[in-house]
Structure 1
């Protein structure tokens, strides 16, 4: 195969520039897609508009002029004419440009137009081979747009180095452009319609391989031998003694988890549950099953406040069970830490709850059998991998309270078995939710003042940290001062946002949890899952700026105690869409229902940040617009694996090899444990 440096226009110097852009082969170059496109049509000189970037077709009519108005500045000017008017091509400190143009020759040029006192100048123009849709590439220093376009045009002559891996029948079924034609249209499209077809082809390709990688990983997990835990009668006794009855959803999910643990394959299960649906009980039952089989459990959470909260809850739930629970966080004294590390290493501790301190080198487990991560998307792939390496193929249980539409959950977590707790425990009071316009703020804050004076606490959420000239929205810092001086002179207010240091953040959250702060003004950094039963009201300013799933998540901060709780959504109510969205929040308390409706109204973009770790970088795909394509790609993978699970037929072997070669890194990153 021809080497990259031998492509016309590359050579040994430019190959180093291309390497800077992660381009090491002709195939890399052909898959280096434009970041954008410009439609460049020729405009007559007499119709040019000052300040616009425009294209002209003109003839050079005189010799180049060089002007040196001051030291260090050389201006090069070349006169041109197009039959409708005269102009000058102008470059700054590029004297070599004068040698690139011949008198009497015709050129197509694009540059910024400057018209002063009737004189037309085209600033720093670049030469084009043709008009139409022009690709714009991400570049590096010393690599000009023209050179890059020429290199790629020359590379397209070597297009046969790229092999088509989708069979004809497959492409026909899913409406995919042939790969060589697709590459040509991605770089130099003949029309917007053909560009869209090419884009669809490569978005499908990326999503297809992502899903294939995940599903093969899932199949591999099912083959990999794990720990075979035996079912223990003590767990049934524990369930019978609970002071409440498990919901049907909890029973169903526990059966799924128990089945996984009792099998000899590694469990890789995600439990999606709404705020307050009782996920912790599932984690406790799994931990008991691990302990009663002589294994240890590591329970990893994102922050110290959450770790302490889980520790307290789990200790009280396990009161009377012969199980030792330890809390391992960064703020322990050296002596406390050493004592806990020793008890983990010698097997005295059954369940370890902690922050990322659990995955540090000094933590040695005696017999790790189960790893539980809470709010899974806060941990990177590598952190989870480090944790699971501390045992012999331990089971993995992942919990998240982020409500995700089911369809999307199956796609985002294609490598995991997904369980959904879609039922709330009886007796949990609804959070009374009101959507009000800005002019009702006085009444809302008077009400908050009243309930704070009866000993309750409240949250006030703002979308921004500081005031912005660009976005019309309340900021936490300014709103905190305003509330303190206007409504709450006699209350204790706290302020929390993303720029507060982790240590101060922990301290403020702890003060609020301990009742030393009456009203916490915050951006959305308030912890998912943080439990302050005495907080019974939340006000969300500029509620229209949040996704519904996020509003539901924020509302879940209240309604955790015995008092009636309230949520006030203050927004500008400026459009029908905003009113519709606020109405959904007022009427529904079901996170999954809200998430589904939000996806219908706003597309899936809202949820796609949920799993930012372990998703490969896409070159073409934009999940918020390619969701239908994603569903089609998933369907294609399912059909393919149904017929040929080991992918051994000649055409599927080619697809499998492409996955290994082309997506090795992404495929590796997607592996969740």
Structure 2
């Protein structure tokens, strides 16, 4: 971007991180004719004014900063690239405000755990996505444990680290009670040297504590989430988080990432008051973070976050949440259709049906009973997967999963599987509806179905119980009390019609 005559804005959420990026860029571009400026709390008013003037007249090529870059005073002469680090820490308004500065700005967002809205837009094709999956050499995965809080767990975790000459982060995110926590830790761990760091401390004091911790004058840092971004201490390889159930999934992953920044094995302990008393979402978050401890697992955690919280809005400001009025599956289909139309250079047809479906009614309960699959969210998930299955193989895979988790299918669940198998088989034949009562089955076709008319005539001549009922209906009169037998009868009739004409033509 710089060699092309454009300016680059580098946006970071915290002053510490902005300073770190500034120093890195200055080192990297030391031999290049590139002018770099920083706009953050660490700079004087005079330096910030000089940077403002530089980006306005084009003499500054790269500017690194915090939210100051988003102020109305920051006017760029020729902004070409916006880089947002730790994207999950910014709101929609902040990011959109930056893009509004110039219509032709390229935006690169960096994050280990994208928020649901951003990830949803990438998966829907509205944004490009690339994953850096290769970890630095000799880097080990962080071992993660979820435990009920207790003095024994804390003492064991801290002493294990201190005995190998390392340092520990102890995260206590309530500034009002952090001094009380320090007293308790001193009682449990008389051998530890404990320092406190949080965002309400004076800047100079906070800077001194952090510098002393890096120099290993303290071996336990009792801190708030101020350490979440921009802190890189290779000798700190254990982190203990009190009340881990109160943190979000991305936050847990970011905090865990403060340790394990060298070739030593790192440990993360997530402490909760009582595992059984946690909310459903808190349990899901902790299970996900514990399961996803491999290197580069941030992307998969973000996918879990997307599933747990929903994808938010594309045109609105909500960065998470579900489209409850529409339903997430339908919303995604509508969005995919609109994106595909716009990419092809045509207006999306808002009135056209998204997909042609076949209505199957076996006149019997078709569901997963409560006493078979107790979790309502899990049942809905299986219903959704079955409804979107397009092949018998997909239904077989789901059936294996259901039987493996819950055991032999009850009759209602078997009927549900029969309904979807029939739906998948019927669609290529142009079937609009199957109405199968115990005495009469009616198969309704759409106009001009892809079926050879001679096969229909042949079928009626050979089977006295099958009749034509109008131009587009087959009527089967036979007593079949079992829904499974009715489904089998419809399958046999459709297969006797041969391959759909369209399928033959393309074969």
TM-score of the two chains, using structure 1 as the length reference:
0.43
Report the equivalent of 1:366.
77
Partner Cα distance (2:323, 2:274) in 1: 26
- Does residue 450 (structure 1) correspond to residue 450 (structure 2)? The answer is no
Between the aligned partners of 1:507 and 1:554, the Cα distance in structure 2 is: 19
Q: Tell me what 1:527 maps to.
A: 228
Within-5 A mapping of 1:207-356: 290-356=1-67
Which of 184, 190, 193 is matched with 1:491 structurally? 193
* Structure 1 residues without counterparts, runs of 5 or longer: 1-289, 467-474, 653-673
Once residues 241 and 108 of structure 2 are traced to their aligned partners in structure 1, the CA distance between those partners, rounded to angstroms, is 33
**CA–CA separation in structure 2 for the residues paired with 1:650 and 1:624:** 21
Q: Deviations over 1:266-293 (max 9, x none)?
A: xxxxxxxxxxxxxxxxxxxxxxxx1111
> Could you report, residue by residue, the CA deviation over 1:529-554 in whole angstroms, capped at 9, with x for unpaired residues?
43333322211234455555543322
- Partners of 2:54 and 2:118 lie apart in 1 by 43
Q: In 2, Cα distance between the equivalents of 1:423 and 1:399? A: 15
TM-score (normalizing by structure 2): 0.55
Q: Distance in 2 between matches of 1:593 and 1:546?
A: 18
Q: Deviations over 1:570-610 (max 9, x none)?
A: 456745968965752567762233454677xxx512x76xx
Structure 2 residue aligned with 1:461:
171
1:395 alignment counterpart:
106
Query: In 1, are the aligned partners of 2:158 and 2:168 still within 8 Å (CA)?
Result: no
Going from structure 1 to structure 2, the CA distance change for 1:642 and 1:385 (only over 3 Å counts) comes to closer
Cα separation, 2, equivalents of 1:509 and 1:631: 50
Q: Deviation of residue 616 (structure 1)?
A: 4.2
Summarize the alignment of residues 148-227 of structure 1 with structure 2, pairs less than 5 Å apart. Answer: none
SS of the residue corresponding to residue 239 of structure 2 reads: strand
Structure 2 counterpart SS, 1:309:
helix
Change (3 A) 1:641 1:448: closer
CA distance in 1, matches of 2:93, 2:296: 35
Q: Is the 8 A contact 1:379 1:613 kept in 2?
A: no
Structure 2 CA distance for aligned equivalents of residues 322 and 343 of structure 1: 15
SS of the residue 1:526 aligns to: helix
Partner secondary structure for residue 227 of structure 2: coil
**Offset of residue 300 of structure 1:** 1.2
Distance 1:539 1:409, change over 3 A: same
> Structure 1 residue 479 and structure 2 residue 189: aligned?
no
Conserved? CA contact 1:297–1:371, under 8 Å: yes
Instruction: Report how far residue 460 of structure 1 moved.
Output: 0.9
CA spacing shift, 1:488–1:315, aligned 2, 3 Å: farther
**Corresponding position of 1:134:** none
Contact preservation (8 Å) 2:7, 2:81 = yes
Instruction: Tell me the equivalent position of 1:420.
Output: 131
Q: 1:592 aligns with which of 266, 275, 299?
A: 299
- On the 8 A contact 1:305/1:509 being kept in 2, the answer is no
1:24-43 alignment, distance < 5 Å: none
Counterpart Cα distance in 1 of 2:103 and 2:153: 59
SS of match in other structure, 1:310: helix
* 1:31-88 per-position Cα deviation (integer Å, ceiling 9, x unaligned): xxxxxxxxxxxxxxxxxxxxxxxxxxxxxxxxxxxxxxxxxxxxxxxxxxxxxxxxxx
The alpha-carbon deviation at position 626 of structure 1 amounts to 4.8
Mapped to 1, the partners of 2:88 and 2:137 lie a distance apart of: 29
The unaligned stretches of length 5 or more in structure 2 are 353-507
- Aligned counterpart in structure 2 of residue 569 of structure 1, from 270, 282, 288: 270
The residue aligned with 2:420 is: none
| Cα deviation digits, residues 94-139 of structure 1 (max 9, x gap) | xxxxxxxxxxxxxxxxxxxxxxxxxxxxxxxxxxxxxxxxxxxxxx
CA apart distance, 1:555: 1.1
Cα distance in 2 for residues equivalent to 1:540 and 1:553:
12
CA–CA separation in structure 1 for the residues paired with 2:97 and 2:118: 30
CA contact (8 A) 2:141 2:295 kept: no
Deviations 1:360-407 (CA, angstroms, capped at 9, x unpaired):
344343322111122224333443344345446222222222256899
Is residue 635 of structure 1 aligned with residue 346 of structure 2?
A: no
CA contact (8 A) 1:538 1:558 kept: yes
**1:604 paired residue number:** 308
Query: How many residues align structurally?
Result: 341
Q: Hey, what's the Cα distance between the residues in 1 that align with 2:293 and 2:131?
A: 23
- Aligned partner (choices 234, 249, 258) of residue 557 of structure 1: 258
Helix, strand or coil at the partner of 1:445: helix
2:500 match: none
SS of equivalent residue, structure 1 residue 338 = helix
SS in 2 for 1:417: coil
Deviation readout 1:226-282 (Å, 9 max, x if unpaired): xxxxxxxxxxxxxxxxxxxxxxxxxxxxxxxxxxxxxxxxxxxxxxxxxxxxxxxxx
Query: Taking structure 1 as reference, are residues 393 and 505 closer, same or farther at Cα in structure 2, changes over 3 Å only?
Result: farther
* Structure-2 separation of matches of 1:405 and 1:616: 12
Q: Distance in 2 between matches of 1:510 and 1:413?
A: 42
Question: C-alpha separation between the residues in 2 aligned to 1:591 and 1:425?
Answer: 15
Measured after TM superposition, the shift of residue 557 of structure 1 is 0.7
Tell me the residue number matched to 1:537: 238
Deviation for aligned residue 1:489: 6.5
CA 1:617–1:488 in structure 2 vs 1: closer, same or farther (change >3 Å)? same
Shift in Å at residue 649 of structure 1?
Answer: 5.3
Residues 281-318 of structure 1: CA distance to partner in whole angstroms, max 9, x if unpaired? Answer: xxxxxxxxx11111110111111111001112222333
Q: Does the Cα contact within 8 Å between 1:460 and 1:519 map onto a contact in 2?
A: yes
- Rounded to whole Å, the distance in 1 between the matches of 2:58 and 2:143 is 47
